[in-house]
Structure 1
Amino acid sequence: MKVAVVFDTPYARYEPDDHRAQMVKEVGGETPHEPEMEYQVGHALEENGHEVVFAGIRHDPREILDRCAEWKPELVVNCAESFRGDSSLDYLFPALLEAGGYRYTGSPPLGLQVSRDKAMSKKILAFHGIKVPGFVSYHQNEEVEKAPDLKFPLIVKPNSADASEGIAQASVVETVEALAERVAFIHERFTQPAIAEEFIIGRELYVSMIGNGKTLELLPLTELVFDKEKNAPEERFATQSAKWDEAYRQRKGVRNVFARPVSADARARIDAICRTAYAALWLRDYARIDIRLTDEDEVWVLEANANPFISKGHEIANAADKAGMPYQQFIQRIVDEAVSRYDAA
């Protein structure tokens, strides 16, 4: 199959052959950093027998349609994470592909936009009977008052950031004064609304999912653990440092592991809840849903991630491998799900 891999790139003047050469270098271990996701995906596609062309977009999104018109791919694998460095514009890639009539992998523009908007996605999930933390949104220049039905501690986040951006230990607040201070920080630093939600004490689990409709399956659960921490439960959560700062992770004993035992009843509820959330938030082909599981086996959905990171060694790829899908097979499964979805339409 002729497959185009579309992605955002820092290489403004790279042509497709340049990206192929870069892929060979990175996948071959000739660079000091982990291979970029698009190159890992492209390499897996080639190993699966597909003809792969790369479309790295830097400044002009219209290049997507120009490249596709030239190549006429049978499927586009969407690896875009942002546009011009702004992750909130990732929906432009599938929007343009839909406008051009091209088949592509992953969630549609609406799924990307809704899942990124923490307040909107919580409202939708609550409508479908799913437990979400109580929350309140604060827009810029709006007076900060605690909603009377919310209980401290609260955790304050940017409403539309991802990858735990803007989340630190200071995000958990116990007073109205601390709440106002953190909201002001979010407004100034991220120029977007802040969301303050009740902090749910419990285990942080990541539910990776793949498929659509009858083929939808939950992959083995992963869990964020703090094995060296002796602090309070409300200080154990996925800060930006806990996710991405390797020195911090080692110092604090932070690890992403396959989930420690979960009761059969809780697992059944997680399955049902995440399937409902997947459909309610317009997720497609693959996604990840972040939840908290309390000591009483209550399941609370924190947020959903449309088109999560699919590089080797990260949550969903690891979960797929645990389920018996090595990386090449995992990428092929995403391709197969997208093709089947379009063929059934």
Structure 2
Amino acid sequence: MTNRRILVLVRDGHVPPLTLDGVTEDELTPWKAEFDVCETLRRLGHDVLPVGVYDDLAPIREALRDFQPDITFMLLEEFHGVVTYDFAVISYLELMQQPYTGCNPRGLLLSKDKALSKKVLSYHRIPTPRFAVFPYGRKTHRPKKLSFPLFVKSVIEDASFGIAQASIVHTDEALAERVAFLHDKTKDDVIAEQFIEGRELYVGVVGNTRLTTFPAWEMDFGKMPDDVARIATRTVKFNRKYQEKHDITTRAADDLDAATADRISKICKRVYRALSMSGYARMDLRMTSEGGIFVIEANANPNIEYGEDFSESAEVAGIDYESLMQRIINLGLSYKAAWMAT
């Protein structure tokens, strides 16, 4: 293995320390992924420089000039607080002829826009729930083809932003109220899709042209009350006290038969290719009690901190965390960006 100079782009304020000496768990949580990645890359023998970025490209330009990295590890999820601008940062790296990890600009742009990505998936006949987009600043009118219950969420925000039990609506009045709430909160369009009752599955995919899927992971909603929807709200995903109270966890969906697992893998690879993705991604699926599989969304550059779903499923597939980080580096180095052909 060749030792590399690796520039790691993180959000400003999330540059991790060299050690965790004296760091509390609460202090660690916001930048645990950044620490895990940097620490592991150093342990692999690489020369690592983490740089914090918020609303200025100058730190990136200076690091490229002075550090001269072999590759940039992309952990930046937004620019100037806008989550859809991550593709612009990657575009800048391509303009600077700099190899990078994770997804290419086109794949980021397509996958981050839930409405656009669903249109692409529908064109390719990949099963996804029926949906409608409610533009910001317009009144809410539900298409007749869209039947209740509906799941209402932001078109662009991720990490369960704005998702709560109130996101599941059963009437036009509740739909209009939730859309208005998200319009006000995000100042952007809102999407409502038919709610698929069933199991919530997450599948990791890695590769550029030759793709590998990891074993399906499942959100186990534990002992949540019977009168609430089994959805991954922000509380379910991030509130540890709530998780412990209701025994909520994620785990390997190891009861899937071989045929179902193979079908899920093939669907996820089709999504990855349809959305022009590269590097690594996580597919969020719903599987009905009858075995129907629906793609909810595709997540480019998902959370890869140690012990989270993506890295845990890789471990089940026989890829330990160090090997996973090295594979991500190798995929970035081997990705054929357009500038390489000039």
Q: Distance in 2 between matches of 1:4 and 1:342?
A: 19
Q: Is the 8 A contact 1:23 1:40 kept in 2?
A: no
Runs of 4+ in 1 over 6 A off after TM superposition: none
Q: Is the 8 A contact 1:9 1:57 kept in 2?
A: yes
- What is the Cα deviation at residue 24 of structure 1? 1.6
Q: Deviations over 1:6-55 (max 9, x none)?
A: 122227xxxxxxx5xx42233x5634324532222111111111111222
Q: Distance in 2 between matches of 1:114 and 1:83?
A: 17
1:229 is aligned to 224
2:172 is aligned to 176
Which residue among 75, 82, 86 is the counterpart of 1:79?
Answer: 75
2:45 is aligned to 49
Q: TM (normalized to structure 1)?
A: 0.92
Q: Is the 8 A contact 1:115 1:304 kept in 2?
A: yes
Q: Is the 8 A contact 2:285 2:295 kept in 1?
A: yes
Which residue among 101, 105, 108 is the counterpart of 2:104?
Answer: 108
1:302 is aligned to 296
Question: What code does the residue aligned with 1:126 have?
Answer: S
Residues 1:288 and 2:282 are matched in the alignment: yes
Q: Deviations over 1:239-274 (max 9, x none)?
A: 111111111212222211111411322212111111
More off after superposition, 200-209 vs 78-87? 78-87
- What is the Cα deviation at residue 342 of structure 1? 3.8
More off after superposition, 260-269 vs 104-113? 260-269
Which residue among 238, 247, 257 is the counterpart of 2:241?
Answer: 247
Q: Distance in 1 between matches of 2:215 and 2:288?
A: 19
Instruction: Within 5 Å, give how 1:80-229 maps onto structure 2.
Output: 80-214=76-210, 216-229=211-224
Q: In structure 1, the residue corresponding to 2:51 is in which secondary structure? A: strand
Question: What code does the residue aligned with 1:7 have?
Answer: V
Which residue among 309, 312, 316 is the counterpart of 2:310?
Answer: 316
What is the number of equivalent residue pairs in this alignment? 333
Change (3 A) 1:127 1:177: same
Residues 1:275 and 2:253 are matched in the alignment: no
Q: Distance in 1 between matches of 2:109 and 2:32?
A: 24
Q: Distance in 2 between matches of 1:126 and 1:211?
A: 23
Task: Note the aligned Cα RMSD (angstroms).
Answer: 1.8
Q: In structure 2, the residue corresponding to 1:23 is in which secondary structure? A: coil
Q: TM (normalized to structure 2)?
A: 0.92
Q: Deviations over 1:165-190 (max 9, x none)?
A: 00100010000000000000000111
Question: What code does the residue aligned with 1:226 have?
Answer: F
Q: In structure 2, the residue corresponding to 1:251 is in which secondary structure? A: helix
Question: What code does the residue aligned with 2:154 have?
Answer: P
Question: What code does the residue aligned with 2:6 have?
Answer: V
Task: Identify unmatched segments of 5+ residues in structure 2.
Answer: none
1:4 is aligned to 7
Q: Is the 8 A contact 2:282 2:298 kept in 1?
A: yes
Q: Is the 8 A contact 2:217 2:309 kept in 1?
A: yes
Q: Distance in 2 between matches of 1:296 and 1:120?
A: 28
Q: In structure 1, the residue corresponding to 2:268 is in which secondary structure? A: helix
1:15 is aligned to none
More off after superposition, 300-309 vs 67-76? 67-76
- What is the Cα deviation at residue 87 of structure 1? 2.1
Q: Is the 8 A contact 2:216 2:261 kept in 1?
A: no
